[in-house]
Each structure stands twice: as C-alpha cells, then as structure tokens.
A and B are shown apart, each in its own frame.
With several copies, the nearest count.
Chain A
C-alpha cells in the first residue's frame, strides 16, 4: 500500500468539518496535539460500553476483561518501543509532563545508598532547547537536593552544541535529560556520543520523546537510553494518557511517586511497603480507557509503519522548507535542511508578530501555534521572543503546505496595508 495522506485523513473524523465560515481545516498544529482516528475514539468508548470495571480489583468478569484490555495496552506500548524488559517496563501516566515529574520526584524520594539519591555536588544535565516539562522538574529537584543544573547550549542554527560534552557531562553527573526532537526547532539530537559519555560517568539518560515517538521509529534498546517519556495525545491517542518507560532494574530501584491504592504491598497506620514494578508507580484507579485508546493508536501507526510515517514527514518538510525559501522576509528558526530534522518548522515573517500572523492564518483555515512554545529559555537564547510553528503529521500533504504558504503571503499583504 502506498502512503496516502488523503486516504489516511478519511480515518480522522475531524477532517469532515470546516472552520472559519466553511474553510477547509488545514491542521498544522500536531506538535501541540494530534488528531484522532476513528479506531482510537472507538477503542476508548468501546471500553466504557462493553468492559468498564476497575482493573486488578474486582472478582468478576468485567474486571477480568478490563484488566486484560489495560494490560494488553501495556504490551502494545512495550513492543512499540522495543522495551527490552517487556511490559513491566511501561508505566502509564496522564501525560509526558507527569512522566518527567514522576522521575524527578521519585529521585527526590531516594535516600542513602539508592543510586538515585542526589546531594550537593551532583549534577543534572539538560539543554537550552528543553520544553518546560523537561526543565522545571529538574530545576526543582536541584533546589530540593542541592544538586547543580548544567546544560548544553544551542548553536545559532538550532543544533545542540556538543563541542564541550566532557565539561557539560562531568564526572559528577547523575542524570542527563534531553529532548529527542525539539518541539520548536525540529532538531533531532544525535544520541550516541551523549549516551556513551553519560554512561561512562555513571549517569542515566532520560529522553523526552514527545516529538519523536509519534513521528519516527524509536527503539529504546538500540538507543541504549535508560528512561523515555511521551504523550498519548500527540501520538494519535486520547488525552489524559502518557507513558514512562524505564529499564526494569532501574525502575525496581527507583522509589515510588504517587501513593495510594494498588501500588502497595503492605500498609499499617504508620508505614507502607510497595508493590513490584510497574504497579508501584500506578496509584489509584488508572486511566484505563485512555490506555486502551493509546494501544489502538499505536496499532494504527504500526500498521502504517513508523518508517513510512517518518519518510513521509521528511519529504513533506523538504517540500515546505523549499517553498518557504521563496517567501521574502521569512526567517526560519531552526535547521534549514532535513538532516536530523523532523517536521516542526518555526519561523518569523518580517515584523508581523507571530500572534497576528497566526490569527490571519486561522482566518484562512490554517491552524498553527504561536509564542514561545513552552521553551522560553530557547526563545531567549535565540533572541526570538515568539515565533510561528507549523508542525506536520501523517495526515498532512503538499496541499496543506501550499495553503500555509498562500496564507503567509496573504498575511504579508493584509498587514502591509498600513
């Protein structure tokens, strides 16, 4: 089957609607959240209609079926990521933000000889291109433990500056937490040297894969990383579901984060001990229907093939970058070729403020995002307080890119009147 965005779009009910007085919806905001195919929406509502019950608890048929469905979703995720330890390595959270906070808080709960216990003199390394979700939790963990935050800076072209890798990832570094693909620049970071250096000093590597897992094959075993997080809602899945993957032995050593039902082994009024991984990290009745929906989303993507999704997006990115080069006054924020680059394309157009540009694009049916894209330090480092971002996905095609380009030209005319 050849890759056809037009056919794919037929699986997504939202494309049957129009926006702004009958205009075709040109959705270029999948970097914020993706649209959902029928199969995902039906998996979630099917759970409620046919199998709804609390998992791991009730002694009845519905509870058995719900548990099966939920644990099957865990298996699907583990296979999608090629988790070496299987489904025990998959923890369901509410979004990637929670996954990263889970890690930071759990490390903060570590004491004594636990490998995750942090103290003054220890170091956590991030980069200047982090989303706030992979920056502030680590800032706060440093504040609580006395550890120090270090970071890779970003080159003017929007690449990680790895020239001083050994003095950024020092011998005292315990955690290296990086975004796999920048949600602003589209940059995909090269991991080999970073992982090698991190492991050489005994640090764990945490990957914020929010913008990579939805868009390209990600094999955690091959990448040799230690933890990874992504969000269901950016991966064709439901809202309210995220994933934390971690190596089994590391998850076993990591203290728990949220406390409550189903994560315990034994409880008295004054003390408690913990269940095994992954139950240890899933307190309370979980987001069952959403996990099932995420399973359906990953099945949908697997059927199309992540290699195919990625090639499609790279080709489309090349097409759009090429077209943008023709627009006078348009300045890219991020790499201007497709080498190690995904389909998040940020830009500025003359002195039209991104918020105004976005508003005009919206009036033409073109949905983009504007602002600092939750990466304010990056915006400051590049001296681009705000930009406009178009982000591509499997349901976009050249006509969407053409519509964007056409609307940008229109905006220049509209705001140039004065």
Chain B
C-alpha cells in the first residue's frame, strides 16, 4: 500500500513521542511558522555556542508529518555546526523536491530519510518542510544577532 511509504514507522514513532518538544526558557532566536493551508503551527528556539547549534527546542501542533519532521530535525541538528546544518537542510530540501525519485542520502540525513516517501505526496511536502524552514529562519536571526 502506497500509504505505507508515507507513514514510515519512524515517523509515527516521533509523532507519538516527540523529541526536544517544550520550549527552552532562553534562546538566541525564536521563530514562529505556520502552514496557512492547514493551520499547523511551530515555534522553534535556537541556542548557539559559537558556530555550534547547542540547543533546539520547539512547541506546536499539526499532523504527524510536520510534527515528526521537526522532532527528527531537532535530534539531527543539535550539536552540528551551522555549516553542517546547512548541508543537511539542502539535502533534505532536495529530497522533498525529488517526487519520489530519490531515496535520500542516509549518511547525511540519518533518520530523516524516512521522509523520502513524502516527496510522492505533493500536498504533504509543505508539512515536512515546516520545521526546517523555521530552522533556516531561526539560524539566520541568531547569527545576525551575534
């Protein structure tokens, strides 16, 4: 069933047990993004130590795809440098644009390759990118404040 390529076990797992959820009390930048077509909302806090992403926390509501995606993303990017994060973000965006033709680079994306199936569902690509776009925005803001 094609649906199973969308709802990978790791996605539903993160949806039920989200990581890094609950906003930190202090942050270098805080951003809030919404997906206006379905009402999903995410608030993301970022903290940096030099070029290192020391902490990512979030809160929000939305579908399994958007929530699992931000959960997996915060897991993946915490502890990475901003440059590394940019490479991972690029790789994830490319995967989402692949229309199901790419399986994703597991070395770079780790658990996030579970979203490969999402790229076959055009209506859900925005969901999986919501957290990542928030991160992109937060990273720019945090850097510009340094």
Q: Do chains A and B touch in the complex (CB under 8 A)?
A: yes
**Chain A interface residues toward B at CB < 8 A:** 20-21, 56-57, 59, 63-64, 67-68, 262, 264-266, 275, 353-356, 359-360, 363, 370-372, 376, 379, 385-386, 414-415, 417-418
Q: Are A371 and B13 in contact (CB under 8 A)?
A: no
Give the distance to chain A from B110, nearest Cβ to Cβ, in Å. 20
Check A275–B121 contact: CB distance below 8 A: no
A385:B61 contact, CB within 8 angstroms? yes
- Interface residue? B6 (CB, 8 A): yes
Give chain B residues whose Cβ lies under 8 Å from the Cβ of A356.
Answer: 7, 63-65
Closest A-chain residue to B64, C-beta based? A356
Q: Is the CB of A265 within 8 A of B13?
A: no
Q: Is the CB of A266 within 8 A of B64?
A: no
For the A-B complex with A353-B63, A363-B1, A371-B38 known, give 4 more contacts whose Cβ atoms are closer than 8 Å: A264-B36, A265-B34, A371-B37, A414-B7
Binary A-proximity of B27-50 (CB < 8 A = 1, otherwise 0): 000000010111111000000000
Q: B34, A355: Cβ atoms under 8 Å? A: no
A376 touches B62 (CB 8 A): no
Q: Is B3 an interface residue (CB 8 A)?
A: yes
Q: Are B36 and A385 in contact (CB under 8 A)?
A: no
Report Cα–Cα, A415/B122, bound state, in Å: 21
Taking residues whose C-beta sits less than 8 angstroms from the other chain, chain B's interface range is 20 to 34
Q: Does B12 contact A (CB under 8 A)?
A: yes
Is chain A's interface secondary structure helix, strand, loop, or mixed overall?
A: mixed
Known A21-B2, A275-B36; judge A418-B9 contact (CB<8 A): yes
Distance in angstroms from B79 CB to nearest chain A CB is 28
**Min CB–CB distance A118 → chain B (angstroms):** 29
| Chain B residue nearest in CB terms to A355 | B63
Contact between A359 and B3, CB atoms less than 8 A apart: yes
Bound-state CA distance A56–B126 (Å) is 11
B residues sitting closer than 8 Å to A (CB atoms) are 1-3, 6-7, 9, 12-13, 16, 34, 36-41, 61-65, 121-124, 127
Do residues B36 and A359 form an inter-chain contact, with CB atoms below 8 A?
no
Instruction: Kindly list the 5 A-B residue pairs having the minimum CB-CB distance in the complex, ordered from nearest.
Output: A355-B63, A371-B38, A353-B63, A372-B39, A363-B3
* Contact call B38/A386, Cβ cutoff below 8 A: yes
What's the nearest-Cβ distance from chain A to residue B32, in Å?
9
Separation of A376 and B2 alpha carbons in the complex (Å): 32
**How far in angstroms is the closest Cβ of chain A from B35?**
9
Q: Which residues of B contact A371 (CB under 8 A)?
A: 37-39
B122–A355 CB distance below 8 A: no
Chain B: minimal CB distance from A47 (Å): 17
Given the complex, which residues of B lie within 8 Å of A360, measured CB to CB? 3
CA of A370 to CA of B124, assembled, Å = 12
**Which A residues are CB-close (under 8 A) to B61?**
385
Q: Select from chain A the residue with minimum beta-carbon distance to B63.
A: A355
With contacts A353-B64, A418-B13 taken as known, whether A359 is within 8 angstroms of B6 at the C-beta atoms is yes
A355–B65 touching, CB < 8 Å: yes
Q: Is the CB of B38 within 8 A of A370?
A: yes
CA distance A372 to B61 in the complex (A): 13
CA distance A373 to B39 in the complex (A): 9
Residues of A within 8 A of B9 (CB): 418
Contact B34 A266 (CB under 8 A): yes
Chain B residue nearest to A57 (CB atoms) is: B37
Docked Cα-Cα span, A385 to B1, in Å, equals: 29
Cβ–Cβ < 8 Å partners of A264 in chain B: 36
Docked complex Cα distance between A353 and B15 (Å): 10
Q: List 13 A-B contacts (CB under 8 A).
A: A59-B123, A262-B37, A266-B34, A266-B36, A353-B62, A355-B64, A359-B6, A359-B121, A359-B124, A363-B2, A371-B37, A376-B39, A414-B7
Q: Which residues of A contact B1 (CB under 8 A)?
A: 363
Contact of B122 among A64, A376, A379 (CB under 8 A): A64
A residues near B123, Cβ cutoff 8 Å: 59, 63-64, 67, 359
| CB of B1, distance to nearest CB on chain A (Å) | 7
Nearest A residue to B13 via CB reads A418
Give the residue among A275, A359, A363, A376 with the most B Cβ atoms within 10 A. A359
* Min CB gap B38→A, angstroms: 4
The reply to whether A68 and B122 form a contact with Cβ atoms under 8 Å apart is yes
Quick one: which of A56, A64, A354, A414 contacts B37, CB cutoff 8 A?
A56
Chain B residue contacts of A363, Cβ below 8 A: 1-3
Residue numbers in B under 8 Å from A417 (CB-CB): 12
CA distance A265 to B122 in the complex (A): 20
Nearest Cβ in chain A — how far from B99, in angstroms?
Answer: 11
**How far, in angstroms, from A68 to B122 measured CA to CA in the complex?**
9
* Closest chain B residue to A20, Cβ basis: B2
Alpha-carbon separation in the docked complex, A258 to B41 (Å): 25
Do A418 and B16 touch across chains, with their CB atoms under 8 A apart?
yes
Q: Are A418's CB and B12's CB within 8 A?
A: yes
List the B residue with the shortest CB-CB distance to A21: B2
